[in-house]
Amino acid sequence: MHQSGVAVPALELRQVSKRFPQRGGGNSTGLLAVDRVDLAVQRNQVVALVGESGSGKTTTGLLALLLVGTTSGQILLDGTDITHLGQKELKPFRRQMQVVFQDSYASLDPMMTLGEIIAEPLGIHALFTPAERRDEARRWLEKVGLDASYATRYPHELSGGQRQRISVARALILGASVLVADEPTSALDVSVKAQIVNLLQDLQADMGLSILFISHDLSVVRSLADEVVVMLRGRVVERAPTDKIFADARHPYTQALLDAVPVINPKARRRRTFLTADEISSRTPRMSAGELETQPLVDTAEPQLVALAGSHFVEAIVTG
């Protein structure tokens, strides 16, 4: 879909915020978990949303799926604003937008066979006959690298990697165009991690999928993502094409995440840096307006996301 000759993103978040009420009501403003996040996943692209636990990345994924309501901002799917649709109006959009969660065991019903689990979305959307649903589930088992005979097995009979393959099959059986994958490899060992990443790459190429891949691990996203968005305390602090993030990270928090990436050659190892909030604040880039690709939107002494050359954005303090 195009508007005015410009490609419309498959999924777009515009200035999305989420404030949760505090328990006990001591703080009337509540907890600001996501703060004015802008993010776009173009068609057939993978955008990695990275940050440590508590950075707001999982909440952002839930907001994108409208599994959690926004406090402010807009969610657009293929250019259509779906932010305030009711459950009934949202149902056809749910076919286009699916999710794979981190804990594959908790997200699969232990009382259902794998065939039933994979076919369940077809029943929810009243697609096909029961026999056709069974056939489609078997086809998807093979598509995610498992034998069709697995249809009669149960989740407890599988390894973690196999269960995650079932989760992927269930998410994509409706022919979704957008997939939100929330830490889908974090509970898996290194070799299985690589297999799931390869599976997602193959399915993305096959189906033209647009993927929002949420992770705390930059080493996982390096081979998968076209763009990396780095979150800290609910805010986007850096956003750039993947190769630019790895070659020229500009925000101290991104640099600290890169320092944690394992390397094969011990001589190439960087010292892991743990930065306090004060250290991040003191090392936040300071730039003059003349250095920027476009002029900042607001005149403030607070850090703000500014545009550098080549689709690179970083949170910086803009001077004069």
Rounded distance between C-alpha atoms, residue 262 and residue 268, angstroms: 10
The answer, as to whether pTM is greater than 0.95, is: no
What DSSP assignment string belongs to 227-240?
Answer: EEEEEETTEEEEEE
Q: Where are the alpha helices (DSSP H) in 65-223?
A: 87-96, 114-124, 130-143, 160-172, 190-207, 218-221
Among candidates 247, 210, 215, 248, which has minimal Cα distance to 229?
A: 215
**pLDDT tens series, the chain, 320 aa:** 555 557 899 999 999 999 998 876 555 678 999 999 999 999 999 999 999 989 999 999 999 999 999 999 999 999 999 999 999 999 999 999 999 998 888 889 999 999 999 999 999 999 999 999 999 999 999 999 999 999 999 999 999 999 999 999 999 999 999 999 999 998 888 889 999 999 999 999 999 999 999 998 888 899 899 999 999 999 999 999 999 999 999 999 999 999 877 665 556 555 556 677 788 887 888 888 777 766 666 666 788 898 888 899 999 988 86
Name all domains of the chain by residue range, CATH numbers in brackets: 2-283 (3.40.50.300)
Single-letter residue type at 105: Y
Q: Are 229 and 51 in contact (CB under 8 A)?
A: no
Give the tokens for residue 104: 């594959």
pLDDT of residue 319: 80
Name beta bridge partners: 75: 13
Q: What 3-state DSSP class applies to 319?
A: strand
Provide the b/e sequence for 40-49 (b: ≥16 CB within 10 Å): bbbbebbbbb
Residue 145: CB atoms within 10 A of its CB come to: 16
Q: If you count them, how many residues does the chain have?
A: 320
